[in-house]
Structure 1
Amino acid sequence: MKLELLTPKEMAEADRLTIAHGPFDGIGLMRNAGAAVAAVVLDRFPSRRRVHVLAGPGNNGGDGYVIARILHESGVAVSLWSSGTPRDDSDAAVAAAECPVSRRSLADFDAGAEDLIVDALYGAGLSKPLADDAARAVSLAAARRLPVLAVDLPSGVSGESGMVLGSAFQAAVTVTFARKKPGHLLLPGRGLCGEVVVADIGIAASVIVSLAVDTFENQPALWRQAFPSLDVDTHKYRRGHVGVFSGGATSTGAARLSALAAARAGAGAVTVLAPGSALAVHAMHLTSIMLRKVEDVAEFAAVLGEGRSSAFVLGPGFGVGEKARDLALAVLAAGDRLGEPAAVGLVLDADGITAFREAPQWLFEAAARPGAPALVLTPHEGEFARLFPDIAGSEDLSKLGKARAAARRANGVVIYKGADTVIAAPDGRGVINANGVPWLATAGSGDVLAGIVAGLIAQRMPAFEAACAGVWLHAEAGRRFGPGLIAEDLPAALVPILAELYGADGG
């Protein structure tokens, strides 16, 4: 599984290293790329009347000249439309010289209803809006609903951020090379790529490793080795104990969702920590999940004093205010006691995040203290803006860049939720999730996610890996369940997925 995501600069460096050390030179890589795209055209679009290759002036256009040549040699009707001329000493110029298809100006581009467009204009490296001739081609393709196969990335989409620079093609298929780029997974780029095919063009895995890439696609292979194992002598407290703070009597459901999710994720014991006013309500609903009265920091200290290492969830349905802040800070102050941590992690969600809106530095400083439990923040866009208003308002940062900046500032892991959820660690690692589905956008879904992550942290899974695993599991449960999903469905939907992860041996 090729999990690394390469920025345009990293991809350019991978090309450079491959050219420097072989076995392929620049034109060799270009020929390989063009051949890979041409193969997809012939396989996926065999019945198209004519293929229109749109070629830009750079390397992406060079790929286009190779594609046009191979399709022409294969007997396909090809039209070649160029925007600009390749530099004389470039690989693209060599590819253009080898192409027997006559070129016409992109400004005159036209296509029929039975045709296919191959977009080889700019690819992932574009840093400014499309020129007028390219923008006109985008409009024509959209108006006539023509299928588009994009080379590397639909022109107009930033490979770095996934943002659209002016206008962009809507592709049915995108063929990229060696590895995906962040723009393939971040919105709105992800929605414009269609199916993404990653083609091997001769860039060795060792070259990718040498780049020390710190951005990845979220897949089990990324965190499977850190996933909790189940030993023969495992008992419930060895599997971790999660405490979920509850709101008052009329706001108890969110805490129960988190608690059930933590239990399904494998925590050996889960306790709802509730004010006295909510105990009776919880008692009517809880069976295997325990219940404990916690009104304030003093009563919470008694829970910590019992010596069971715990991960905690604070925020779902809790309410915003001083009590939320005090309890969160109390968890983060529960460092090592006689060599054994009194708490291993805090997942701060919803009201727990908003409670620090006026004093975020209190939270960040508490998380930075030596020996502090791991902090995981799970904001959606609005909550992110409350805690990190300057970062949220930056026009220079992608969603991935914003999550990274927030994680560094917070001294914790940030799960920046959305259809393209990003997970970032304080050390700069970033992961983009791609298996989310629209029906996860339902009340209580985030409460379940917080519980899953806490359940994994309680089992001593490192916080960043637990966050990545929790996001993937949550999304996969929603994907498999399908339309009609409500939050109550998610914990049980985890069961078959966990069974697959553990395998028949349970390990």
Structure 2
Amino acid sequence: MLIGSEILTSAQMRAIESDAIGSGAVTGLALMEQAGAAAAALIQQATPSPKDVIVLCGPGNNGGDGYVVARHLHDAGWSVRVLGMDNTPGADAAHMKDMWLKRGQIRPLSDAQLMCEPPANIYVDAIFGTGLTRKVAGDLHRILLRLGGRNDDAERYSGRIYAIDCISGLDLDSGQMPGWSSEHMQHAPRANMTVAFHRPKPGHLLRPGCLLTGDLQIVDIGLPETKGTVSPAPPLQAIWPQFPFSRSQVRPAIAQRLAKSPLDHKFRHGHALVIAGGAEHAGAARLAARAALRIGAGLVTICPPSQAMPEHNTTPDALMRHPVDDTQELQDLLADPRITAICIGPGCGIARATALLPAILAAGRPCLLDADALTALSRDRSLFARLHEKCVMTPHEGEFSRLFPNIAAKQGRGPTDQLTPTPSRIDMLRMAAHQSNAVTLLKGPDTVIAAPTGACYIHTALDVPWLATAGSGDTLAGIATGLLARSLPATDAAALAALIHASAARKFGPGLIADDLPEQIPAILQMLLT
């Protein structure tokens, strides 16, 4: 894998815990103690002086973790109130509940009780955790709405909620809140911090879960690395938006390809073509070409129609220009085996993309399809049969719906209006990549990249909203094209491009326009390679 952390589904996590306990390597009680103690320590670090805290404990193991948190905070001098359920929990959680009762009482976990409690400095949500897939209904649903500020002053809870595993009600496999209406989602509780164990789960990184998670802290509780008895699944990886980077965060083979040797020549790092369109949209193709140059492609040639050539006689001077008016001229150009990647879509024009795509796909070279090329694909379904595993498609959600209407339709009215979760972005992207036989990158604050093999990356970048600017996607296309030209495998090129793209925006900060993005790339490469 490229960079980041393995992601586990709820089933995989349960299997790992079950295998570890079944083998005698660890007991469930020890895992619960370790989890709760670690969560309490992180809460104390976030709020160094002892505070007044209310711990909300559910009926299962998540509630057991909550009783451990309550005990450790109490022993550290905090004022602790516990609201718990009467349900008889499992043996481990019952033991932790009894240990808490030696220190304090348990009031009923109800909306009425929470409303009557004097405000606390901190609220710990340990009601439901990993594995919940059903709708949270009745009084517990009302509690969650209250924590989200629907019935009280929102300031009472805002910034004060610390979740164990996740905000209660969140499906950690999809990132959705089953059964929550659009209206209710406006009042979903949002954690200041979420403490999760062993590995992140998909729902921590996918919308709306990533919007509710806050600062995600992953705690090692001593589980082994094995995935247990679950059937083998394609790799699922989180691309953490850590900045600054270090070379140790990148797979050595990838770092080696990004580096340049004094003995190298320009063709050693590839030749990328960027297919441009008419003069009225020349800027999009130039943004892509500039980004491809900055990421280190040895040569980049922009290819507009002859009549638009004057529009491209501008900087950068390093950019080469070659007119392409028809399919034959493109095929003649592609006869050069040193051309190692092609970008088509940004500022290309739909008719031009439709005419040139067959020749590009027939060449079998790594290629990046964006914007107008995706629209052309959606209008001519016969082109889908020509896609291959060296293709990378970078749709936004509207383009995705047009490309894969059968998959997008599975979303129905949207995840928040369903009683059961609809397919997650991971499910959708895996289906799309399998159906198209191409690497597919669905752009958004929770970008998901899937390969035809089922391998998948998630990159969550909620902290760079200024990427929502004209030309941002063109720059992403150029970065990925440059990486393809430098012989990175398609999935790695797409994943690393998403990371570098967001990191460039993060480095520049507010006020960003797309022209600024390529200029941040050299500093990011410096961090990656030293």
Please report the TM-score for the alignment, with normalisation by the length of structure 1.
0.91
1:98 CA displacement: 2.4
Partner of 1:432: 458
Q: Distance in 1 between matches of 2:204 and 2:87?
A: 27
Q: Distance in 2 between matches of 1:50 and 1:258?
A: 53
> Following superposition of structure 1 onto structure 2, how do residues 102-121 of structure 1 map, counting pairs within 5 Å?
102-107=105-110, 108-110=113-115, 111-121=117-127
1:46 CA displacement: 4.4
1:83 CA displacement: 3.4
* Structure 2 gap ranges (5+): 412-421
Partner of 1:180: 200
Q: Distance in 1 between matches of 2:468 and 2:252?
A: 26
Q: Secondary structure of 1:171's partner?
A: coil
Q: Deviations over 1:74-126 (max 9, x none)?
A: 33222211235134x53222222222132222112234334311100002322
Partner of 1:90: 91
Q: Distance in 2 between matches of 1:358 and 1:63?
A: 53
The answer (yes or no) to whether the contact 1:3–1:222 under 8 Å persists in 2 is no
1:138 CA displacement: 2.4
Q: Secondary structure of 1:393's partner?
A: helix
Q: Distance in 2 between matches of 1:315 and 1:195?
A: 37
The answer (yes or no) to whether the contact 1:48–1:115 under 8 Å persists in 2 is no
Q: Distance in 1 between matches of 2:383 and 2:199?
A: 37
* Structure 1 gap ranges (5+): 336-342
What stretches of structure 1 move > 4 A for 4+ residues in a row? 46-49, 206-213
Deviates more, 1:36-45 or 1:236-245: 36-45
Q: Deviations over 1:269-302 (max 9, x none)?
A: 0001110110111124452111111011100011
Q: Distance in 1 between matches of 2:48 and 2:496?
A: 40
Instruction: Tell me the matched-pair count.
Output: 488
Gap change, CA 1:496 and 1:126, over 3 Å in 2? same
The answer (yes or no) to whether the contact 1:457–1:463 under 8 Å persists in 2 is yes
The answer (yes or no) to whether the contact 1:162–1:186 under 8 Å persists in 2 is yes
> Following superposition of structure 1 onto structure 2, how do residues 398-477 of structure 1 map, counting pairs within 5 Å?
398-435=424-461, 437-477=464-504
Q: Deviations over 1:273-332 (max 9, x none)?
A: 1101101111244521111110111000110123323201100011113x3123122111
- Aligned letter for 1:351? D
- Aligned letter for 1:103? I
- Aligned letter for 2:363? A
> Following superposition of structure 1 onto structure 2, how do residues 19-34 of structure 1 map, counting pairs within 5 Å?
19-34=21-36
Partner of 2:167: 154
Alignment RMSD = 2.0
Match of 1:383 among 387, 399, 406: 399
> Following superposition of structure 1 onto structure 2, how do residues 304-453 of structure 1 map, counting pairs within 5 Å?
304-321=334-351, 323-335=352-364, 343=365, 345-360=366-381, 362-368=382-388, 374-395=390-411, 396-435=422-461, 437-453=464-480
Partner of 2:58: 56
Q: Secondary structure of 2:379's partner?
A: coil
Identity rate of aligned residues, in percent? 41
1:250 CA displacement: 1.3
- Aligned letter for 1:171? A
Gap change, CA 1:76 and 1:292, over 3 Å in 2? same
Q: Distance in 1 between matches of 2:455 and 2:221?
A: 27
Q: Distance in 2 between matches of 1:177 and 1:320?
A: 48
Q: Distance in 2 between matches of 1:426 and 1:499?
A: 32
Match of 1:263 among 272, 293, 298: 293
Gap change, CA 1:247 and 1:35, over 3 Å in 2? same
Gap change, CA 1:208 and 1:451, over 3 Å in 2? farther
Please report the TM-score for the alignment, with normalisation by the length of structure 2.
0.88
The answer (yes or no) to whether the contact 2:204–2:210 under 8 Å persists in 1 is yes
Gap change, CA 1:208 and 1:499, over 3 Å in 2? farther
The answer (yes or no) to whether the contact 1:6–1:213 under 8 Å persists in 2 is no
Q: Distance in 2 between matches of 1:114 and 1:195?
A: 20
Q: Distance in 1 between matches of 2:458 and 2:4?
A: 14
Verify: 1:195 aligned to 2:215, yes or no.
Answer: yes
Deviates more, 1:228-237 or 1:204-213: 204-213
**Bigger relative CO (Cα 8 Å, ≥ 6 apart):** 2
